[in-house]
């Protein structure tokens, strides 16, 4: 599986360290992070649709059941599944509509993943969000985790909003989108790289324990 490897020696990560002292401290503390890329674009989007507004554990359970319904998850196999089969797998009625809509758009070539590498971020988002159930956030996650784009800032991502407030010691009741926009001015154009380190801070438990970065560093060294 292809993956992105980030560490302070990468040129764009080094520039983040130079441009944002606080983020630089986090990067130096976390060191190298590894981000697996989702190689199958259709599967990636289907998985995103399944996971909307439910827990990671529940999403994985339902997605596994969907995989068991087909020999291979393709636009045609999803299109051919009955609503009843998908409902029994745990997929909601609205998400079945979204999945079918995506399959139809790929089968009709309204969405052609092969041309995506030649398109810019805005063009891809515009194409994807024409499908029911795919909003800006889902399209942004696709750009980051399927295409490996390093210049994507997802201000609507709740996890990033929490992590930004944590890192910069901001009031947790502040508007998350506004915090993201204000704190990210020094990340341009490596927004995704900054985001990976913020997500990693969440994954390691620092953000939700409400330790400050200094407390996390002291805890780690003790």
Interacting residues of 77 by C-beta distance below 8 A, sequence separation 6+: 70, 71
Helical residues (DSSP H) of the chain, grouped into ranges: 11-19, 21-30, 41-50, 56-68, 75-80, 83-88, 93-107, 121-128, 136-145, 158-167, 176-183, 191-203, 206-209, 213-221
Rounded Cα gap, residues 71 and 140, in angstroms = 29
Classify the C-alpha dihedral 194-199-203-207 as positive or negative. Answer: positive
State how far Cα 123 lies from the chain centre.
18
The single residue listed with the structure tokens 């981000």 is 35
d(CA 142, CA 198): 18
Distance separating alpha carbons of residues 105 and 163, to the nearest angstrom:
35
Residue in 40, 71, 157, 175 annotated catalytic: 157
The partner residues of 35 in beta bridges, in order of sequence, read: 4
Known catalytic residue at 157: yes
Kindly write down the DSSP assignment for every residue of 182-221, as one continuous string. Answer: HHGGGTTT-HHHHHHHHHHHHHTTHHHHT--HHHHHHHHH
Q: Provide the annotated active-site residues.
A: 157
């Amino acid at each position: 599986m292809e993956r992105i490897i980030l560490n302070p020696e990468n040129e764009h990560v080094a520039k983040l360290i130079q441009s944002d002292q606080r983020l630089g401290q986090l990067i130096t503390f976390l060191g190298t992070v590894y981000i697996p890329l989702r190689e199958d674009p259709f599967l990636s989007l289907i998985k995103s649709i399944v996971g909307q507004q439910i827990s990671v554990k529940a999403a994985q359970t339902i997605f596994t059941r969907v995989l068991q319904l087909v020999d291979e998850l393709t636009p045609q196999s999803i299109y051919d599944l009955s609503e009843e089969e998908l409902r029994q797998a745990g997929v909601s009625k609205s998400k079945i509509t979204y999945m079918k809509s995506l399959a139809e758009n790929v089968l009709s070539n309204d969405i052609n993943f092969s041309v995506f590498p030649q398109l810019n971020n805005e063009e891809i988002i515009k194409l994807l969000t024409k499908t029911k159930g795919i909003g800006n956030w889902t399209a942004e996650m696709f750009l980051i985790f399927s295409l490996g784009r390093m210049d994507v800032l997802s201000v609507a991502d709740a996890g990033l909003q929490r992590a930004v407030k944590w890192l910069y010691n901001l009031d947790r009741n502040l508007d998350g989108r506004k915090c993201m926009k204000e704190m990210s001015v020094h990340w341009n154009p490596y927004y995704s790289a900054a985001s990976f380190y913020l997500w990693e801070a969440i994954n390691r438990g620092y953000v939700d324990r409400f330790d400050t970065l200094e407390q996390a560093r002291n805890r780690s060294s003790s």
